Amino acid sequence: MKICCIVGARPQFVKVAALTRKIKSSPLIIHTGQHYEENMSSVFFDEMQIPKPKYHLEIGGLPQGAMTGKMIEEIEKVFFKEKPDCVIVFGDTNSTLAGAIAASKLHIPIGHVEAGLRSYNRKMPEEINRVLTDHCSDLLFTPTQVASQTLIDEGIDPEKIHHVGDIMYDIALFYQEQIGNEKEKTDYVLATIHRAENTDDPDRLRNIFEQLVDLSKGMQVKIPLHPRTKLALKKIDLLDTCQRALHVMDPLGYLDMIRLESNAKLIITDSGGVQKEAFFFKVPCITMRTETEWIELVERGFNKLVSPYEKIDMMDVYHEMTNRRYQWDVPLYGNGTAADQIIGLLTVRDGRRR
Ligand code: UDP
């Protein structure tokens, strides 16, 4: 079975790493080039031993429509040439949507990993990507029962929906063993901010970073800075202030990142993946958004939503979150075998087609 995986952005490198570890014959990988910097892309391929992409489309840095359109065109060319038996897309980026559209037009079966998530905020480009990808996929691999139910409620045939758990949990468990459990000596908060809805709105961005700077007066704040956020901070003249007050770092490789996550007292983020990793590593989390797709974390108190418009005392929230009592041992995201289950389901489906 010729499996083609489409990736392009950082969270997809992490997810594809979990899958390719379990595929015996090397899958065909198409890298769209959405993220192209060394520390946003190749570091993950090297460190996590992801097979080299056979095709690198180098489509980055374009507006939403142009980027997605160009990706569809170029991915289709590869499909004509390679004739894959199935296509796997991950998450919710433009690469996800482009891969799904290109495959659906050629009637190539599509598997969507991390299907059924919703923020119900249609202003987010990711939300449109998720909804459309789900509705043209043939196998929908969901991380939670809630996600499966969402798809059923949207009228998707239940036979296509497979609750396999979260693939990021597989990989977090695998690498957790390798990072050891050496504790950092100083307490710190780890922050990541990169969602377009936060970086593209100067008021929101300023509010978030002024609060982080405030927090840093009482607590070290470490932040590996996404290139988009760095640029946006520069534009509003806040980068220098942040660099003086916060421990600003370049984006990190996965192992360094999860090491920092697992040793943090608190994580502040707007990332989808980092919200879950906080839970995997038993660290309370604040999400700087008005809503989240990972609602079960908020409902159970592991995560707290803080509106990026709100002026709050971050130190108060820090104390509130670090003093709470947590019941970490709930299997919210499956048992760490999502990749095995996905491959099993693909194999059975392929056997039926032949
Ligand atoms: N990540 C990383 N280095 C960093 C920041 C994040 O390795 O400097 C990892 C993080 O541990 C998680 C993934 O990237 O596995 C999340 O990606 P991102 O936050 O870019 O996207 P999202 O999950 O919001 O779609």
Confidence check: pLDDT of 354 > 90: no
Structure confidence at residue 5 (pLDDT): 98
Of 178, 174, 123, 112, the closest CA to residue 148 belongs to 112
Instruction: Tell me, yes or no, if 319 is annotated catalytic.
Output: no
Query: What percent of the chain clears pLDDT 90, i.e. is strictly above it?
Result: 92
Of 23-27, 55-59, 149-153, 282-286, the least confident: 23-27
Which residues, 6+ apart, have CB-to-CB distance to 217 below 8 Å?
Answer: 245
Calpha distance 95→72 (Å, rounded): 9
CA 8 to chain centre: 12
CA 319 to chain centre: 27
In our burial notation (b when 16+ CB lie closer than 10 A, e otherwise), range 42-81 reads: bbbbeebebbebebebebbeeeeeebbbbbbebbbebbee
- What sign has the CA pseudo-torsion 124, 127, 128, 133? positive
Calpha distance 10→12 (Å, rounded): 5
Of 39, 13, 10, the closest CA to residue 253 belongs to 39
pLDDT in tens, 71-80: 999 999 999 9
Structure confidence at residue 211 (pLDDT): 97
Amino acid at 210: E
Backbone angles phi, psi at 350, to 5 degrees: -65, -40
Calpha distance 285→173 (Å, rounded): 19
Confidence check: pLDDT of 182 > 80: no
Q: Which residues line ligand 1 (CB under 6 A)?
A: 10-11, 14, 192, 194, 224, 251-252, 254, 257-258, 271-274, 277
pLDDT in tens, 256-291: 999 999 999 999 999 999 999 999 999 999 999 999
Cα–ligand 1 centroid distance for 117 (angstroms): 17
Q: Which two tokens stand for residue 145?
A: 């029962």
Confidence check: pLDDT of 316 > 80: yes
Instruction: Give the helix ranges, DSSP H, for the chain.
Output: 10-20, 42-47, 64-82, 94-105, 125-135, 145-153, 167-179, 196-199, 202-215, 227-235, 239-245, 254-263, 272-280, 295-299, 314-323, 338-353
pLDDT in tens, 184-238: 778 999 999 999 999 999 999 999 999 999 999 999 999 999 999 999 999 999 9
Work out the average pLDDT over 41-45.
96
Q: Which of 31, 35, 162, 194 is catalytic?
A: 194
Confidence check: pLDDT of 60 > 90: no
Q: Residue 130 in 3-state DSSP?
A: helix
Neighbours of 301 (CB within 10 A): 13
Confidence at 167, pLDDT banded by 50, 70, 90: very high
Query: What percent of the chain clears pLDDT 70, i.e. is strictly above it?
Result: 100
Calpha distance 302→322 (Å, rounded): 10
Structure confidence at residue 313 (pLDDT): 93
Q: Give the residue, out of 7, 10, 275, with the most ligand 1 atoms within 8 A of its beta carbon, to mutate for a pocket test.
A: 10
Nearest atom (ligand 1) to Cα of 192 = 5
Q: Which two tokens stand for residue 334?
A: 């499956």
Average pLDDT in the chain? 96
Q: Residue 141 in 3-state DSSP?
A: strand
- What sign has the CA pseudo-torsion 122, 123, 128, 129? negative
Nearest atom (ligand 1) to Cα of 249 = 8
